[in-house]
Copies of this chain bind each other. A is one copy, B any other.
């Protein structure tokens, strides 16, 4: 009986961990879908709501962008430049209690040096945090670009 109890506890712990992991990964995927929808319809406020209030962006070729308001302005400027058709693809999600780390790849179309819409792609890493209401939001967001083809 003791062994059976231990086994049962172990199985419940494993199942619990797996459910917790699946929950975070599913929340991340759901938020990414909302991010894509907001971005591709020009809704910068909707994009910004995916971030924590004090989130930090670390974009290539420009200084860090700190806080949801400045993040909204940054994405608004990027949309205004003509960027569109964003797709996000999560490739790994690691849960660490109140935080989670996602890596993935993105693609979009944006005006190139000649002004023509050009396909672009790259990799990203996002640190997610769960807020007091249980919602997972992006807290740190860094990416870099693949070579232009």
**Chain A residues proximal to chain B, CB less than 8 Å:** 56, 58-62, 64, 94, 96-99, 101, 103, 123-125, 127, 140, 142-147
Contact = CB atoms under 8 A, between A and B. Distances in A.
Contacts of A143: 142, 144
A77 to B, nearest CB: 16
Identical subunits present: 2
25 contacts: A58-B103, A58-B125, A58-B144, A59-B144, A60-B144, A60-B145, A61-B144, A61-B146, A62-B147, A64-B123, A94-B127, A96-B97, A96-B99, A97-B97, A99-B99, A99-B101, A101-B127, A103-B142, A123-B142, A125-B127, A127-B127, A142-B143, A143-B144, A144-B144, A144-B145
A144 to B, nearest CB: 4
B103 A101 contact: no
A92 to B, nearest CB: 8
The majority secondary structure among interface residues of chain A is: strand
A148 B93 CA distance: 33
B61 A145 contact: yes
A60 B60 contact: yes
